[in-house]
Amino acid sequence: MSGTNAQLDAVIAKYRGKHGILIPLLQEVQALEGYLSRPSMRYVGEQIGVSSAEIFGVATFYSMFHLEPQGKHVIKVCKGTACHVSKANAIADALREALKLESGEITTSDMSFTLMEVACLGCCSLAPVIMIDGQTFGKLTPEAIPGILERFAY
Amino acid sequence: MQTISVKVGMASCGMAAGASEVYQKLEAYLAESKLPVSLSKTACIGMCFEEPLVEFSGAEAGRLTIGAASAETITTALDEYLAGGIPNQRIILSDKSEAIHNELISNQVRIVLRNCGVIDPESLPEYEAQGGYQALKQALKMAPEEIVDLVKASGLRGRGGAGFSTGMKWSFAQKAPGPKKYVVCNADEGDPGAFMDRSVLEGDPHSIIEGMIIGAFAMGADEGYIYCRAEYPLAIKHLEKAIADAEAAHLLGQNILGSGFNFELHIKEGAGAFVCGEETALMQSIEGKRGMPTIRPPFPAESGLWGKPTNINNVETWANISWIISHGAEAFRAFGTEKSPGTKVFALAGKVAGGGLIEVPMGITIRDIIYKVGGGMKTELPFKAVQLGGPSGGCIPADLLDTIVDYDSITKTGAIMGSGGMVVMDTGNCMVDVARFFLNFTQNESCGKCTFCRIGTRRMLEILTRITEGKGELEDIDKLEALAVNIIKGSLCGLGQTAPNPVLTTLKYFKDEYLAHIVDKRCPSAVCNALIRYQVIPEKCIGCTACARKCPVGCISGKVKEIHLIDQDKCIKCGACFQACKFGAIAKN
């Protein structure tokens, strides 16, 4: 699945001529493909008259931009303070084990799940917390992880 | 007869605890039974540890809040309530009878959170029914200088952390030459362990919008931005609805309420960068650039967004404004201390029993917050420290629990008030590990502009990691202290200038823990993996083999009904045996 130029043109048209638009524009471009591909970034730059270097600079600065394809479901493991002191590391380990991710890998080989660590999901009193596709799960134990993942299986 | 109303707390944390199921069950039940009950959604009631929360009101038993509500029993509870009784549920708050947490809530003062958990945040009429937008009407009849003077007289200080006088900040922007000026709401709440702003954004978006319109009118701005982090989708949804409703009601846009004043408000979604909570970085980000801080001066009040005078305030600061206009500076000063008037919202989390969102008058002691408002400790282990101010703050130990909460007293301890994250820790938490945790965070989030922040935090993190792995040396402590001083001096913005605080405060109050890691190669709280030893307690081991079967590296020897033994050379310290043993025969120390 890749954003065609026609799709990109439609997104760019909404922002053309306005100022301070690069971040929301890239967010919409990312929503088309699930990540920012190099051809898309280059095309957007050509269309709005911004250098590829500046676009790449913005895309790599913010953690919400992804330069690699993402899995079908995105799991965010909260590594905030409250979660950290409530053993968030054990939750992350349980997720890696259940998803059979080797160290350094963040996406499963079948592209079904991407696992990322985030600073804080703001649900501290339910620590430890994870979010899968926008749905939050709290007061977790490592044992609860396989059951939760099953609900999102494929 | 008074209408019976049922409200379900549907903020992010309520939803995470299962509030949607409870709401759907009630909705289906009421549709089928046609009972004369009004069902609505509200946001954060504050008692997050009791989620999901449902409030009943209007019947004989008065206003009741049910904690840990479940979809299975909620309709029965409603029937019991309608019949005039008190439902057989976990009643946590009640205005007519005894309830589990009545006392905890009585120690709070709610100015910023006045509407959170009370109104439906997506309803403008409900906000107006609580007196919403009256302050705006009043302000539009005042001279702009009068408004700034009133805010100055209230003594309100910026709730984002630094505590600068809001009135002073407003007067700078007001005096700056126009005609184009901006006001900005900093809703990029990035401190891990803090969720005050999320709760206000989700629970009472109009209070922020009203404050911003008043501020824009006072300072002569005609355009504003709310910069909200993208991790808060529900907050953004509620803000969008609130802005659209306010525009339709002529509270925003051209010629507001016929006054001739124009103000346009936009939402800018962040893209995930902690440093964007710093005001100059935030403005860079609104302009669509990498969010890197710039040198001050010029201050935003002179040259901010697109080079125009700009005023930036935090969510909580904005939410105080309309209350101050309506009630006056004196009423605000009735709460808090001489130099820090008013209240402060805290996100209480960690090992405290009553984690959630609280609002207390300034001047209360930290002890009272934890024990009288937070209900004491959650675990059986004793209190060890409270972390205030997130990655920019520090850990306050038990013997400073009587420190009062105001900007200046907390700064004296080496921590900072910060935006209001308060994470309680017990003796099971390792302070070196906590310091390492925060340094890992700031090191990741450093934008890289200043050398000391970029490389210095990395060196500090390496040293801390080394110490938690048992490879630390005594001179590492001196190195940490020297690096800390240089990073504070050599950084442009608040991120770098405060990044060493978690290390400095833990070194100041918990030096013995650092020494235990370095000299004795021991983690007193048994947190740092490399320093933990798992051993079989021979008297307790019954030889069930559970541990040996779980051990992933096969380092536990022993036959059935024989005492087992862990080979320390092979042990990878995964803790599987500790989890597996049902007889408490594995010691972790």
Residue given tokens 């079948």 in the structure block: A110
Residues of chain A contacting B268 with CB distance shorter than 8 Å: 20, 23-24
Residue A68 lies in a domain: no
Helix (H) or strand (E) holding B187: strand B182-187
CATH number reported for the structural domain that contains residue A121 in this entry:
3.40.30.10
Per-residue pLDDT at B255: 97
**B128 shares its domain with B191:** yes
Residue A66 lies in a domain: no
Residues of chain B contacting A82 with CB distance shorter than 8 Å: 192-193, 349-350, 355, 423
Query: What is the number of domains present in chain A?
Result: 2
Query: What is the number of domains present in chain B?
Result: 5
User: CB–CB of B231 and A121 under 8 A?
Assistant: yes
CATH number reported for the structural domain that contains residue B95 in this entry:
3.40.30.10
* Residue B268 contacts A, CB cutoff 8 Å: yes
Residues of chain A contacting B16 with CB distance shorter than 8 Å: 123, 126, 129, 136-138
The whole domain housing A89 covers 73-150
Which residue of A16, A23, A97, A132 is the best one to mutate when testing the B interface, meaning the one whose CB has the most B CBs within 10 A? A23
Residue A22 lies in a domain: yes
Residue-wise pLDDT tens digits, B389-429 = 999 999 999 999 999 999 999 999 999 988 899 999 999 99
Per-residue pLDDT at B253: 97
**Separation CA B211–CA B143 (nearest Å):** 16
Residues of chain B contacting A139 with CB distance shorter than 8 Å: 17
User: CB–CB of B193 and A82 under 8 A?
Assistant: yes
The whole domain housing B543 covers 533-588
**B240 shares its domain with B314:** yes
The encoded tokens of residue B438 equal: 């925060």
**A77 shares its domain with A138:** yes
Helix (H) or strand (E) holding B264: strand B264-269
Per-residue pLDDT at A153: 79
**B360 shares its domain with B419:** yes
| Domain stops at, among B406, B426, B446 | B426
Residue A53 lies in a domain: yes
Per-residue pLDDT at A3: 53
Residue B199 lies in a domain: yes
Residue-wise pLDDT tens digits, A95-135 = 999 999 998 899 999 999 999 998 888 888 888 999 998 88
Per-residue pLDDT at B2: 67
Residue B391 lies in a domain: yes
Strand partners, B348: B356, B422
Q: b/e string for B430-469 if b means 16 or more Cβ within 10 A? A: bbbbbbbbbbbbbbebbbebbebbbebbbbbbebbbbbbe
Please count the helices (runs of H) and the strands (runs of E) in chain A.
Answer: 7, 4
User: What's the complex ipTM?
Assistant: 0.90
**A44 shares its domain with A78:** no
Residue B114 lies in a domain: no
Return the SS3 of A138: coil
**B49 shares its domain with B12:** yes
pTM summary value? 0.93
| Domain stops at, among B426, B446, B462 | B426
Per-residue pLDDT at A1: 41
Give the residue from chain A lying closest to B379, CA to CA. Answer: A86
User: CB–CB of A119 and B192 under 8 A?
Assistant: yes
SS3 letters across B103-163 = HHHHCCCCCCCCCCCCCCCCCHHHHHHCCCCHHHHHHHCCCHHHHHHHHHHHCCECCCCCC
**A78 shares its domain with A55:** no
User: CB–CB of A138 and B285 under 8 A?
Assistant: no
DSSP string over B317-352: HHHHHHHHHHH-HHHHHTSB-SSSBSEEEEEEEESB
Residue B505 lies in a domain: yes
The CA distance from A6 to the nearest CA of chain B, in Å, is 24
* Residue B425 contacts A, CB cutoff 8 Å: yes
For chain B, residues with pLDDT lower than 50 are: none
Residues of chain B contacting A119 with CB distance shorter than 8 Å: 190, 192, 274, 441, 445
User: CB–CB of B350 and A81 under 8 A?
Assistant: yes
Residue B107 lies in a domain: no
Interface of B with A in 41-60 (CB under 8 A): 48-49, 51
**A49 shares its domain with A104:** no
CATH number reported for the structural domain that contains residue B459 in this entry:
1.20.1440.230
Residue B185 lies in a domain: yes
Per-residue pLDDT at B504: 97
